[in-house]
Structure 1
Amino acid sequence: MKRIDYYYWLNSDWAYLGNDRLEEIAARHRAELNYLPVDLPYVYAHTGGVLLSQRSVERQAYRETELVRWCKKLGIHVNPTPRFMCPNGDLASCVVIAAKFAGLKLATLSQAILHAEWVEEQDISCETTLSRVIDSVGYDSASLLRDAGTSDVAAEYRSYTKQAIAAGVFGSPSYVFNGEVFWGQDRLEFLDAALAEQ
């Protein structure tokens, strides 16, 4: 069976824009979609990346321009500079991993967390916020938040992050298929073509 390894940060506005299309592409090609939340600051530190807040004014401004363009093209709204922008994503990532361990579907949960940050301007590093988001998709927030704090989940999170670097990933979202990295939601067309060719 075809498999897409999906490395992403739970603070990634670009992941939010691409998630629904990624799910559609995977379903159309009957490919397994392996959700792998990563600690992007750690990835950046080991691959030469620069956190948004540390980038030049020009690069920050261009990011906003590109977001506006893509939001218009896709018909999706995001606030380029939400009130709680890119807080610590570790707990949110561990919640998704706990859901994965529980055999739950991750697309809706991941998108709901991203939506909370980029549309609702909520602090996704806050347990109260995550509890509300988890409940909103019909999952048990108390159970997932409890499991998110376990050593097994923490170890998995670290493993995904190191796997990402080993796979050549340096940004979010990144899709890896047959050892080939497709970086950014604007590369989904190329991922779609690669799946079609196999």
Structure 2
Amino acid sequence: MPQIDFFYFFGSCYAYLSVMRIEKLAEEAGVEVRWRPFSVRDLMTEKGYFLRTQPTKMDYIFRDVERRARLHGIPFEKPPIWPTDPDQLANRAGIAAFIQGWGREYTKTSFRAWFDGMPLGAEESLNEILTSLGKEPQSIIDLANSPEIRERYNQETDAARQLGIFGSPTFAVGQEIFWGDDRLEEALAWAKGQHPALLR
């Protein structure tokens, strides 16, 4: 089965759109998806790129995400709390969840909670999210803070770094990368060998 790697960051507004769309589109396309949380924040810091210093761009992003959410029938009431997850705990919990086999559910629940007004990575948010999934919050938080999960998270970030990824979400088909939710359909077409750039 064709495969794409879905690199995303808990705290990326555009990743919310992809998280809500990718399963249905990938199933229809017959493409397998590997969900890979990574630290886009670390990569952006390395490049000296800080969105929080660009309020005009952030205003645009929030409005653009709202437009795209309504285009695709995805819930959007107001911009989420941003920036969020200061210690990247929600992201590391995502790594732990995937290792245990419930990462997709955790991801979708977390992004929905974020757009419902919860700050990602906050103790009360994680408690509510994890409890709703039938998990014991403190054990997952302890695991997310463990050296093993921190190292796995760093490895995923390094994999993104080696591919030249600089934003979230990014879809990778081998070494070919597609940045942004609006490139999801192109990435799926590439994985299937049906992208026009492959057919000329």
- TM-score under structure 2 length normalisation: 0.86
Is the contact made by 1:84 and 1:117 (CA closer than 8 Å) also made in structure 2?
no
Q: 1:83, CA displacement in angstroms?
A: 4.1
When residues 183 and 80 of structure 1 are mapped into structure 2, their CA distance, relative to the original with a 3 A threshold, is farther
Q: Distance in 2 between matches of 1:194 and 1:83?
A: 34
Which residue matches 2:181?
Answer: 185
Which residue matches 2:133?
Answer: 137
Cα root mean square deviation, aligned: 2.1
- Percent of counterpart pairs with the same letter? 26
Indicate yes or no: 2:134 matched with 1:169: no
- TM-score under structure 1 length normalisation: 0.87
Q: Distance in 2 between matches of 1:68 and 1:24?
A: 20
| Aligned length in residues | 194
Residue identity in the other structure for 1:60: M
Match for residue 146 of structure 2 among 146, 150, 157: 150
Which residue matches 2:17?
Answer: 17
Q: Which runs of 5+ in 2 are unaligned?
A: 195-200
Which residue matches 2:95?
Answer: 97
1:93-150 deviation digits (Å, cap 9, x = unpaired): 1111111222x132221111112112x2112121221121012123332332221121
Residue identity in the other structure for 1:73: L
Residue identity in the other structure for 1:54: T
Is the contact made by 1:47 and 1:165 (CA closer than 8 Å) also made in structure 2?
no
Which shifted more, 171-180 or 2-11?
2-11
Q: Which runs of 5+ in 1 are unaligned?
A: none
Residue identity in the other structure for 1:64: F
